Each structure stands twice: as structure tokens, then as C-alpha cells.
Amino acid sequence: MTHNPPVSTTIDEPADDAGEVEMMLFALQRSRAQFAWKVGGLDHAALHAAQPPSAMTLAGLIKHLSLVEAQRTAECFGGPGYGRQWAGYDGPDWEWRSAADDTPEELYALWADCVARSTEALDRMLSAGGLDQPTRAADGPGPGGNLRRALVDLHDEYARHVGHADLFREAIDGLVGEDPPLPTRPSRTTRT
């Protein structure tokens, strides 16, 4: 059974005169959409297949980026804590190891939840101030730096792993490309 991506693969282009916040959010949304396209539509075997010489899998990438989203939400965006889904966390590389036990449904649901929580917390924080405001943890000050830096770091984490997902997906079924295909739009006919 194949599964659809849990996060939208639609890329909404910003206006030509978009400001810094809108452009930064666009970059993050585009990277999330690219990642969703690269990991979507795959079954258990494909998500859990290692691509030597790396031991990484798409399942591990999904769980890792879920943890990164949860971390930014809890430690930088003033959102709720990590949540019960991370109760088993036992140190570095846990998400990569534990992904081997997760079904595609569990992985996709986890990532979708973490992205939704991150987006909500980030939107709340942005509505309370700009990118220069200090980061905020759910229970006090964040790890330092400002919201701009935390947002750039989140985007960079996606950008790095979209490259991995791109190579892994090509090895699995030959899917290539930078951006997901645009939705089909009805053609216009002109009358003369």
C-alpha cells in the first residue's frame, strides 16, 4: 500500500514585493513541500530501504525532521512542549534508530502533527512581533538568538535533507525533479 504525503506539496509563490517574513516562510514551505513530494506515495519497504553506503532511510529522515520541528516549536517558537510521542527519546540518533519500528502511517502522522504544531506556534509568535524578537521556549526563554535565526536554521535543516531524500527517491523508483508538479489547471479558451 502506498501513502500520500501528509504535508501539502503545493508551493504558493510569494508576490514580487514580498517582505522578509513572507520570503522566509515561503522558503520553509517550499522545502517542506519538496520533502513531502520526495517521501510521499511510498510503501513500508521503500520508506525503510537504506541507500548504501548510507544507513539513512526515508523513514529515518521523516522522523528526524519531525523531531527538529518539535524541537523548534518547544525551544524557539514558544509552542507546547515536545509531546508524548517523544517520551521514548534516549539520546542522539534515537529518531533514526526508532523509525525502523514505525509504520508509514505512524511516520506520516507524526510529521504532519509536528509541522502543524510548529506552524501554529510560529504564526502566533510572528503575530506578536517580528523576526528580531528573541526565541521563546514553552516554559521560558529560548536557547538564545532571535526568531530569524531559528527560522533560518529550520529551513536549512530541511534544505539539507531534501537533498538526501532526492537521491534516495531516485534510487527507489526513479522520481526526479526539484519541485512537485503543479496542480493541473483548466485550460482557457479565448474567443475572437
When pLDDT is cut at 50, 70 and 90, the band that residue 188 belongs to is very low
Is the Cβ–Cβ distance between 57 and 50 less than 8 Å?
yes
Distance, first Cα to last Cα, the chain: 49
pLDDT digits (tens, 9 = 90+) for 58-85: 999 999 999 999 999 999 998 888 888 8
**Tens digits of per-residue pLDDT, 119-171?**
999 999 999 999 999 998 877 777 778 999 999 999 999 999 999 999 999 99
User: What is the pTM for the complete model shown?
Assistant: 0.89
Domains and CATH numbers, the chain: 25-173 (1.20.120.450)
Residue 6: pLDDT band by 50, 70, 90 thresholds? low
Higher pLDDT: 9 or 109? It is 109
Q: How far is Cα 160 from Cα 176, in angstroms, rounded to an integer?
A: 17
Helix, strand, coil % over all residues of the chain, rounded to 5: 55, 5, 40
